[in-house]
């Protein structure tokens, strides 16, 4: 019923499948450890800009990129720590670096675990030793993403023991052909436009005629959001644990995607400290995101 295959495409691609449910997940460790495809009942659920994906020097627009150690951008890509100035590009570096496959199983479900560890490149922009461990689990219509963040500062040859600040998130690009048929149930009554900083009441829909919508919801009053695409008779439930304080909705006119992104902290948290996670030396922090797709 469950299987994992390694296919050589442009990059080595791990293909997880549930044959009985016609579900498939494709993961490319070399391109930021990201999920590039998710199918349920043989239907494509994610958008992927294949032209950008083919160019390793471009950030990927599509799939489910990983955001770490920041979500969003910083003013002039800059933050201060211990009196020093550092540069971090939008959403951090985890989505751009190669990850390592450290475990896989295809018994009661199909799952793969990937790891990213700090190195000289990461320390130059983020002065901490860390290990990230992400496990993708596919079963039926469900996709579970388990994440563990460990502060290795002081436990290896590298940087001294110190508290590690970070935020994290996921950036799913969901495929859509008719945005007028979308409806959302999000546990918040308002969102803030991250472009204009205006506050808007939320009615469950977004105007698809707007060139770009970039709205952040928070604080959240629940641990799940639901997106319904009536044109495809598709409902996607996005669940997350208490670590996630915000949901971001983003879409661009003329593009066949919308993004519903769980973030643990808003933009610029590395400077403001707002909702930032502080991890003690040697400690680990775990988060969970759960996706379920149903056709009606």
Domain ranges of the chain: 2-295
H or E, element range at 277:
strand 277-279
**Which distant-in-sequence residues (6+ apart) come within 8 Å of 85 by Cβ?**
78, 79
Q: What is the CATH number of domain 2-295?
A: 2.70.98.10
Residue of 59 and 291 predicted with greater confidence: 291
Structure confidence at residue 156 (pLDDT): 64
Report the percent of the chain where pLDDT is more than 70: 99
- pLDDT for 198 equals 96
Residue 59's pLDDT band, with cuts at 50, 70 and 90, is confident
CA distance 202 to 215: 10
Distance CA 108, CA 89 (A): 39
Q: Contacts by 99-103 with C-beta closer than 8 Å and gap 24+?
A: 99/29, 99/30, 99/32, 99/33, 99/134, 100/29, 101/14, 101/29, 102/133, 103/135
| 278 strand-pairing partners | 165
Q: Per-residue pLDDT for 55 more than 90?
A: no
pLDDT-based confidence at residue 157 (cuts at 50, 70, 90): low
CA 115/CA 106 separation, integer angstroms = 19
What's the mean per-residue pLDDT of the chain?
A: 96
Alpha carbon 265 to chain centroid distance?
13
Q: Is the pLDDT of residue 266 over 70?
A: yes
Grade residue 180 by pLDDT with cuts at 50, 70 and 90.
very high
pTM score, whole prediction: 0.97
Q: What is the mean pLDDT of residues 201-214?
A: 96
Beta bridge partners of 233: none
């Amino acid at each position: 019923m469950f299987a994992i295959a390694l296919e050589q495409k442009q990059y080595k691609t791990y293909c997880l499948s549930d044959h009985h449910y016609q579900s498939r997940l494709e993961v490319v460790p070399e391109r930021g450890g990201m999920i590039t495809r998710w199918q349920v009942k043989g239907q494509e659920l994610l958008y992927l800009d294949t032209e950008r994906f083919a160019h390793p020097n471009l950030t990927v627009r599509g799939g489910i990129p990983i955001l770490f150690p920041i979500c969003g951008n910083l003013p002039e890509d800059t933050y201060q720590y211990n009196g020093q100035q550092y540069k971090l590009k939008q959403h951090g570096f985890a989505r751009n670096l190669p990850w390592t496959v450290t475990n896989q199983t295809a018994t009661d479900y199909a799952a793969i675990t990937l790891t990213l560890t700090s190195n000289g490149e990461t320390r130059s922009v983020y002065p901490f030793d860390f290990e990230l461990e992400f496990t993708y689990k596919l079963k039926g219509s469900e996709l579970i993403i388990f994440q563990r963040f460990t502060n290795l500062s002081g436990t290896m040859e590298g940087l001294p023991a110190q508290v590690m600040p970070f935020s994290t998130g996921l950036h799913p690009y969901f495929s859509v052909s008719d945005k007028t048929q979308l409806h959302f149930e999000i546990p918040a009554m308002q969102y803030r436009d991250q472009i204009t900083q205006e506050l808007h009441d939320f009615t469950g829909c977004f105007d698809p005629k707007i060139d770009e919508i970039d709205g952040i919801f928070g604080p959240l009053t629940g641990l799940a959001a639901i997106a319904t695409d009536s044109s495809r008779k598709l409902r996607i439930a996005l669940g997350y644990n208490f670590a996630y304080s915000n949901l971001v909705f983003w879409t661009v006119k003329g593009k066949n995607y919308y993004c519903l992104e769980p973030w643990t902290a808003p933009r610029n948290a590395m400077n403001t400290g707002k909702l930032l996670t502080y991890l003690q030396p040697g400690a680990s922090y775990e988060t969970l995101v759960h996706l379920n797709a149903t056709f009606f």
